[in-house]
Amino acid sequence: MKEWYNTARSSGRKVPGFGHRVYRTYDPRARVLGPLAGMMAESNPNCDKMYSIAKRLEEEVVSDLGMEKKIFPNVDYYSGIVYHAMGVPGDLYTVLFAVSRVAGWTARVMEYLENNRIFRPRSLYVGEFDREYVPLENR
């Protein structure tokens, strides 16, 4: 795990589940989900190793980036372990992560409409255009 983290850091990759646009301290939601994931891992042998690795990675990242860059686990870091312990299939995780945010996204759009503001993303799409769709079974 430590070797993987050092490779990710030296190549400039971000570590999934760490950092947050708003919180510059430990995400309060992760403070709840972390111990919950630990409790669920104790009673679920399929999650015990996963939780152990997650805790070691958290210690590594926080000791390396926590004080300097204020990077700590976010809510999604431990929620995947909780979903796994509950028996949720992995291909549904992204859906659950998104569903939990729909109310906030909707509220944001409603605020923009109320103030007659146009949302202008701050990023540019740099991918390919005019690509032909290839069905999943043909990829």
Task: In whole angstroms, give the CA distance from residue 52 to residue 17.
Answer: 15
Task: In whole angstroms, give the CA distance from residue 76 to residue 51.
Answer: 13
Task: In whole angstroms, give the CA distance from residue 139 to residue 124.
Answer: 27
- Residue partners of 5: CB distance under 8 A and separation at least 6: 15, 57, 60, 61, 64
Instruction: Determine whether 64 is an active site residue.
Output: no
CA 6 to chain centre: 19
Which among 96, 85, 89, 73 is positioned nearest to 49, based on CA atoms? 85
Query: Of residues 27, 64, 76, 84, which has the active-site annotation?
Result: 76
Residue 13 has which token pair? 């990759």
Instruction: Determine whether 84 is an active site residue.
Output: no
Q: Any idea which residues carry the catalytic annotation?
A: 20, 76
